Amino acid sequence: MFVCHCGTNIAGTVDVEAVADAMKSESGVVYSATYQYMCSQSGQDIIKKAIRDYELGGIVVCSCSPRMHEATFRKAASSVGMNPYMVEIANIREQCSWVHKNREDATSKAITLARAAVAKLKLNFPLTPGESGVTKRALVIGGGIAGIQTALDIADAGYKVDIVEKSPTIGGKMAQLDKTFPTLDCAACILTPKMVDAAQNENIRIFSYSEVESVSGYVGNFTVTVKKKARYVKEDVCTGCGLCTEKCPRKKIPSEFNLGMDNRSAVYIPFAQAVPKVAVIDSEHCMMLKENKCGVCSKVCTAGAIDYTQKDEYIEEKYGAIVVATGYEPISLERFGEYARGMSPDVITSLEFERLTSAAGPTHGKLVRPSDKMKPNTVVFVQCVGSRCEPSLGKGKEYCSKICCMYTAKHAMLTKEKYPDAEVYVFYIDVRTPGKNFDEFYRRAAEEYGVKYIKGMVGKITPDGERLNVSASDLICRKKLEIKADLVVLAAAIEPSPTARALATKLASSMDTNGFFTEAHPKLRPVESPTAGVFLSGACQGPRDIPETVAQAGAAAAKVIGLLSKERLTANPCVAVCDEEMCSGCSVCGNVCPYGAITYVEKEFRVPGGRTKARRVASVNEAVCQGCGCCAVACMSGAMELKGFMSSQIMAEVDAICRTSR
Amino acid sequence: MECKGEALCAEVIRISASDVGKCMRCGKCSASCPSYDEMEYHPHEFAYMVSSGDADALLESDSAYKCVSCLTCSERCPCGVAPSRLVEAFRIIKARERSNAAFAPERSVFDDGEIPGQALVSAFRKFSK
């Protein structure tokens, strides 16, 4: 028994000598001592010496929370040959001295806690952690800026990485942006070189137009099946010349890349800088695939890359770590009828505005009204459309989408730069610009560019002839405003990619109520998911801008590299164990397990009469189990137990506490 | 019943069952209000003044009777505050101050010149739903 003073942290309220004295007479305790700082080198030496001198079978340290120093004391004990799981911590700091003022009460509680620890220790048994190997290859799901950056960083460290991207090209949302805040440098100029780097890096493989079909295994040893959708073009043969796209007779298909603001052909390359720059045939619109009539692309292709018989291909690969980088989508504005979205082509979303101002966009960078291609003289920006809404109303999202204030300031500036005489209004609830050089950027829009920032939401937008009638109220001037606008830009809230939920199920990774991936700890483990070996990068975890995404991508890569650099992984031995004699195979534990660690096997059991009978029982994969204990709680027959926290041990602790307090 | 200050606000909240604390001051209610220019105090000010505990001015003003009970403010409010219910609560409190005799069955409310027409329209809107 080792009682720590922790300076005055514990000794200030707890009479540590009294605790040590009381424990001397406790059955099973052969040695009891106190020291000022038990975690220090000399404190640890006291522990080591006592273990050797008295040949102790286990020790109790009365000190701070096990979160603080359990590992320290376990290491000290194992250095002198004691199994580290024979060390128990009685937390007499956070749960005793810090929360009590009365010295007498605190001391008696400390004694009770120490007794409980002794009672548990008597039932402890040595545990040995298992080990498993690590596959030296990482999988990145999503090929936007988050996925690309993570893959590049992992590849730089010398590990193999595969990127799985659902669309025909990597690049994601950033490829659709025109300029980036707060520096106004062009998105393509900073993104496309990274896309090329990823394609040329010998450690990176890109599976474009592909999706994750299934995931099994556990940290260090995942097996993933990737579905490579048929693109009807041989990827390794196509040169990306684009002749097929010119000759294709089906040309009136709304372009996904330009958000339907212009058209593409049935065989297409998403945009000029696509990676891989390979054509893809849209099977829904291709006449050859639908009706077996046409075949023009195949005739004009000099490389012979067109293959109408291509089928979906399934690739199975092993990975040591998985990074989720599935990104975001703007929400649908269907439920915001008051903003005349759909009633007028001149009410656009911010992402559409990006395409309108982009040199590679449908208007080649000329900012015009979509309806009549005329210059807009009055442009109104509406912020928080669908963000910060009461969720029970079912209209929008509860959270702040974070990026809209900044990109709206950017859009307002870009408008003023193109048309200095244009009237530009921004309607806001709050302007939120935390970030390096962010507030300065917003102020520049208001002060230098003369953008009119008005506090108050827009109530209604009504098409009025060629223009749009915007009704709003200026809350600061207490004035009703009616503005005749030529173009209205709605800053739509962002939400997780619709593909994310199915993926989370496959990865046994948890999501919050908004569908964003949950991190293992919001402050201390922000890029790890609670599922071991699964990491998070970018907006799949919550709204974030490009600088933050890139920073997080690097952090996730560092975590992956740390994992892949290990030859063997030591598992936590405090995992669930199934008493097969008791197990009825009812599946309750498997259903509650958040990590997918429990499977069911048919096993032969001896039955009376010298015969055997097959029975279904639970089996725990110790490498996947995180020791959360859900199964042990849910098990109706008491077959599931958590090693190190067996029911008998917990009950012994409870008994000891009840005995003392009586 | 003399109702003022915090007590008045508590009564308004009780009658309207509106969660004014949820208001984030976006002003979408006022921006949607067709009677904005008629009103001395606007829908967002109803929410703001009630949540700040000082709404006596609203009782003295005739703004509550300028409301046409179109309920657009409640429909558009992203926070679910329902300003129209707050406005209605003020009309109810005023009516109760005048005693319930005004609503006695033997007396036709339609003949009572003292009841502003708007209160009647609002009542029809409310009860015909």
Q: Read off the pLDDT of each residue in B6-11 and give the average, rounded to a whole number.
A: 93
Determine the Cα–Cα distance for residues A471 and A587; give it in Å rounded to an integer.
58
Which residues of chain B neighbour A395 with C-beta distances below 8 Å? 78
Say if the Cβ atoms of B42 and A457 lie within 8 Å: no
- CB burial readout A147-180, b (16+ within 10 A) else e: bbbbbbbbbebebbbbbbbbbbbbbbbbbbbbbb
Q: Are B32 and B58 in contact (CB under 8 A)?
A: no
Which residues of chain A neighbour B18 with C-beta distances below 8 Å? none
Residue of A338, A392, A475 with shortest CB distance to B76 = A338
Using a CB–CB cut-off of 8 Å, the residues of B that contact A are 22, 24-33, 36-37, 42, 44, 72, 76-80
Residue A475 contacts B, CB cutoff 8 Å: yes
CATH of A137-172+210-327+496-564, one of 3.50.50.60, 3.40.50.300, 3.40.50.2000, 3.40.50.10420: 3.50.50.60
Tell me how far CA of residue A60 lies from CA of A71, A92, B75, in angstroms. 13, 12, 63
Q: Are A408 and A491 in contact (CB under 8 A)?
A: yes
Say if the Cβ atoms of A478 and B33 lie within 8 Å: no
Which residues of chain A neighbour B72 with C-beta distances below 8 Å? 459
Opening angle at CA A252, ends A247 and A254, nearest 5: 120
For residue B102, what pLDDT is reported?
55
Topology (CATH level 3) of domain A576-643:
Alpha-Beta Plaits (3.30.70)
- A442: pLDDT confidence band, cut at 50, 70 and 90? very high
Residues 6+ apart with CB under 8 A from A507: A215, A322, A324, A529, A531, A534
Nearest to B42 by CA among B60, B24, B21, B27: B27
- Model confidence at A498: pLDDT above 90: yes
Count of residues for chain B? 129
Please spell the DSSP secondary structure of A114-177, one letter per residue: HHHHHHHHTT-------EEE--SEEEEE--SHHHHHHHHHHHHTT-EEEEE-SSSSS-GGGGG-
Say if the Cβ atoms of A456 and B78 lie within 8 Å: no
CA distance B40 to chain A (A): 10
Residues 6+ apart with CB under 8 A from A643: A127, A573, A574, A575, A576, A577, A627
- What ipTM was estimated for this complex? 0.85
Determine the Cα–Cα distance for residues A460 and A385; give it in Å rounded to an integer.
12
Residue of A388, A396, A460 with shortest CB distance to B32 = A460
Tokens read off for A632: 């042990």
Say if the Cβ atoms of A475 and B27 lie within 8 Å: yes
- A596: pLDDT confidence band, cut at 50, 70 and 90? confident
Determine the Cα–Cα distance for residues A478 and A472; give it in Å rounded to an integer.
11
CA distance B64 to chain A (A): 17
| Residue that wins the pLDDT comparison between A624 and A267 | A267
Which residues of chain A neighbour B37 with C-beta distances below 8 Å? 480
Residue A395 contacts B, CB cutoff 8 Å: yes
A 416-445 residues inside an 8 A Cβ radius of B: 429
Number of helical (H) and strand (E) elements in chain A, helices listed first: 17, 34
Residue of B24, B31, B44 with shortest CB distance to A472 = B31
Which residues of chain A neighbour B36 with C-beta distances below 8 Å? 473, 480
Residue of B22, B28, B36 with shortest CB distance to A480 = B36
Say if the Cβ atoms of A456 and B79 lie within 8 Å: no
Determine the Cα–Cα distance for residues A355 and A358; give it in Å rounded to an integer.
5
Say if the Cβ atoms of B27 and A473 lie within 8 Å: yes
Give per-residue pLDDT as tens, A278-334.
999 999 999 999 999 999 999 999 999 999 999 999 999 999 999 999 999 999 999
Q: Which of B24, B26, B41 to mutate to test the interface with A (most CBs of A within 10 A)?
A: B26
- Model confidence at A193: pLDDT above 70: yes
- A522: pLDDT confidence band, cut at 50, 70 and 90? confident
Look up residue B5 and give its DSSP letter. Answer: H
Q: Residue B23's CB: how many other CB atoms inside 10 A?
A: 23
Determine the Cα–Cα distance for residues A87 and A68; give it in Å rounded to an integer.
14
Which residue type is seen at A623?
A: A
Nearest to A533 by CA among A278, A250, A271, A224: A224
CA distance B25 to chain A (A): 7
Q: Read off the pLDDT of each residue in B96-116 and give the average, rounded to a whole number.
A: 60
Residue A539 burial class via C-beta count within 10 angstroms: exposed 0-12, middle 13-18, buried 19 and up? buried
Determine the Cα–Cα distance for residues A246 and A544; give it in Å rounded to an integer.
38
Residue of B24, B30, B79 with shortest CB distance to A473 = B30
Residue A473 contacts B, CB cutoff 8 Å: yes
Count of residues for chain A? 662
Residue of A390, A455, A480 with shortest CB distance to B79 = A390
| Residue that wins the pLDDT comparison between A15 and B117 | A15
For residue A212, what pLDDT is reported?
97
Which residues of chain B neighbour A475 with C-beta distances below 8 Å? 25, 27, 30, 44
CATH of segment(s) B5-127: 1.10.1060
Opening angle at CA A359, ends A356 and A364, nearest 5: 65
For residue B113, what pLDDT is reported?
62
Determine the Cα–Cα distance for residues A487 and A257; give it in Å rounded to an integer.
21
Residue of A396, A459, A478 with shortest CB distance to B31 = A459
- A379: pLDDT confidence band, cut at 50, 70 and 90? very high
Determine the Cα–Cα distance for residues A345 and A334; give it in Å rounded to an integer.
14
Q: Which of B18, B24, B28, B35 to mutate to test the interface with A (most CBs of A within 10 A)?
A: B28
- Model confidence at A456: pLDDT above 80: yes
The helix/strand/coil state of A336 is: coil
Say if the Cβ atoms of A395 and B31 lie within 8 Å: no
Q: Read off the pLDDT of each residue in A92-121 and give the average, rounded to a whole number.
A: 94
Give per-residue pLDDT as tens, A529-571.
988 899 999 999 999 999 999 999 999 999 999 999 999 988 8
- Model confidence at A660: pLDDT above 60: yes
Q: Which of A457, A461, A476 to mutate to test the interface with B (most CBs of B within 10 A)?
A: A457
Determine the Cα–Cα distance for residues A84 and A127; give it in Å rounded to an integer.
8
Say if the Cβ atoms of B32 and A480 lie within 8 Å: no
Say if the Cβ atoms of B37 and A456 lie within 8 Å: no
CB pairs under 8 A between A and B: 66
Q: Residue A416's CB: how many other CB atoms inside 10 A?
A: 19
Residue of B26, B72, B80 with shortest CB distance to A457 = B26
Topology (CATH level 3) of domain A329-495:
FAD/NAD(P)-binding domain (3.50.50)
Q: How far apart are the first and last CA of chain B?
A: 30
- Model confidence at A254: pLDDT above 80: yes
Cis peptide before A420 (omega within 30 of 0): no
Positions of E strands within A333-422:
347-349, 378-385
Same fold, A329-495 and A576-643: no
Determine the Cα–Cα distance for residues A424 and A487; give it in Å rounded to an integer.
10
CA distance A31 to chain B (A): 60
What kind and span of H or E run contains A640?
strand A640-642
Q: Residue A366's CB: how many other CB atoms inside 10 A?
A: 13
Q: Read off the pLDDT of each residue in A72-84 and give the average, rounded to a whole number.
A: 94
- Model confidence at A443: pLDDT above 80: yes
Determine the Cα–Cα distance for residues A241 and A277; give it in Å rounded to an integer.
9
Residues 6+ apart with CB under 8 A from A571: A129, A130, A131, A132, A622, A623
- B112: pLDDT confidence band, cut at 50, 70 and 90? low
Determine the Cα–Cα distance for residues A585 and A597; give it in Å rounded to an integer.
15
Domains of chain A: which residue ranges? 2-127, 137-172+210-327+496-564, 329-495, 576-643
Write down the mean pLDDT value for chain A.
94
Tokens read off for A371: 């309806």
Residue of A388, A392, A473 with shortest CB distance to B31 = A473
B72-77 own/partner pairs: CB under 8 Å, 24+ apart? B72/A459, B72/B32, B72/B33, B72/B34, B73/B28, B73/B29, B73/B30, B73/B32, B73/B33, B73/B43, B74/B29, B75/B32, B76/A338, B76/A459, B76/B28, B76/B29, B76/B32, B77/A390, B77/B28, B77/B29
Q: Residue A512's CB: how many other CB atoms inside 10 A?
A: 13
Segment among A35-44, A206-215, B99-108 with least mean pLDDT: B99-108
For residue A319, what pLDDT is reported?
97
Say if the Cβ atoms of A472 and B37 lie within 8 Å: no
For residue B99, what pLDDT is reported?
63
Q: Read off the pLDDT of each residue in A448-470 and give the average, rounded to a whole number.
A: 95
Among chain A residues, the shortest Cα distance to B78 is held by A389
Residues 6+ apart with CB under 8 A from B104: none
Cis peptide before A182 (omega within 30 of 0): yes
- Model confidence at B1: pLDDT above 70: no
For residue B124, what pLDDT is reported?
76
Which residues of chain A neighbour B77 with C-beta distances below 8 Å? 390
Say if the Cβ atoms of A459 and B76 lie within 8 Å: yes
Give per-residue pLDDT as tens, B54-105.
999 999 998 998 898 889 999 999 999 999 999 999 988 888 877 665 555 5
- A523: pLDDT confidence band, cut at 50, 70 and 90? confident
Which residues of chain B neighbour A389 with C-beta distances below 8 Å? 78-79
Determine the Cα–Cα distance for residues B122 and A273; give it in Å rounded to an integer.
60
Give per-residue pLDDT as tens, A390-417.
999 989 999 999 999 999 999 999 999 9
Q: Read off the pLDDT of each residue in A90-110 and give the average, rounded to a whole number.
A: 94
